[in-house]
Structure 1
Amino acid sequence: MIFFSNIYAQRTDFLISTVVPAARGYVDINLNHEKNYVIKVYVSDLTEVKRLVPSKHSYVVWMITEQTILKNIGQINSLTGFFVKKIKESLEIISPFKPIKVFITTEYDSRVRYPSADIVLSTQNI
């Protein structure tokens, strides 16, 4: 017997950045069995945040939900090492809310409640 399920899954690319043109990335959104959204953010070739002008402390990932809630979903963590040739960043969170847009800003503090105007990468509406 074969069962089919309508599990929600979507991949959305970030638009080309005017701040860090070499940066590339995407957002994967999946619905898990508890009906929560698993949001995975992947970015490569993102310049060290301290090298930008103005210099900041961290890259923060934000989402706007279907309910128009703006939420800081975390700071991106660097994946660097001996076998990693390029700087890669990633973040994974679980949310009860469906995102309609994801974007990344530079911030002086990763715990901010509202984003700065310094948007580095953004998706179109999902």
Structure 2
Amino acid sequence: MQNRWSATLVISLLLVLSGTIACGGKNVHMTPASTQPAAQGVAELKHDKNGNLTVDLKVKHLARPEALTPPKTTYVVWIQSSNTAARKLGELKVNGKLEGEFKSPVPAANFQIFVTAEDGPTVSEPTGPEVLRQTVGVSQG
């Protein structure tokens, strides 16, 4: 009888832990473009209290867009699911320490997230050079 309770307890704990991992945060390290090899980025993906998936992208060592060749004015964060056009999430601002942070809800659990240098934040599609990219796959929680 005690072994049955022990087995039940172990199975219950495993189910709880697997749910926590599936619904908890996931860090995805961004891959820098060859033009900005020092750039680092980590996208933290997690579900909010309503179950919506959100991304918190933090970057370091990202050159100021004006310093690029050709110069640009800003960075823009995009996502793209398979067989769809890229969708702009918003502008990523970089401070004097070459760091930036961008937070946004995302509409899909499996997508490419990438950052481009652009002539302005109002672009409707990526036209500038890509500086960071990664593929994301998140379990639904």
User: TM-score, with normalisation over the residues of structure 1?
Assistant: 0.81
Give the match for residue 5 of structure 2. Answer: none
Higher helix share: 2
1:31 aligns with 47
Name the CA distance, whole Å, in 2 between partners of 1:71 and 1:27.
Answer: 17
User: Which residue is equivalent to 2:3?
Assistant: none
Equivalents in 1 of 2:116, 2:39: separation in Å? Answer: 13
Displacement after TM superposition at 1:112 (Å): 1.0
Which entry has the higher C-alpha Rg, 1 or 2? 2
1:41 is aligned, of 44, 47, 57, to 57
- How does the TM-score come out when normalised to structure 2? 0.73
Check whether the contact 1:11–1:26 (CA below 8 A) recurs between aligned residues.
yes
Q: Secondary structure at the match of 1:90?
A: strand
CA change 1:99–1:110 in 2 (3 A) is farther
- Identity level (%): 21
- Structure 1: give runs of 5+ residues left out of the alignment: 81-85
Aligned length: 120
Q: How well do the aligned residues superpose, as a CA RMSD in angstroms?
A: 2.3
Residue 112 (structure 2) pairs with residue 96 (structure 1): no
Unaligned runs of 5+ in 2: 1-12
User: Within 5 Å, which residues of 2 pair with 1:40-79?
Assistant: 40-65=56-81, 68-79=84-95
More strand by share: 1
Structure 1: distance between partners of 2:90 and 2:26: 20
Counterpart in the other structure of 2:132 = 121
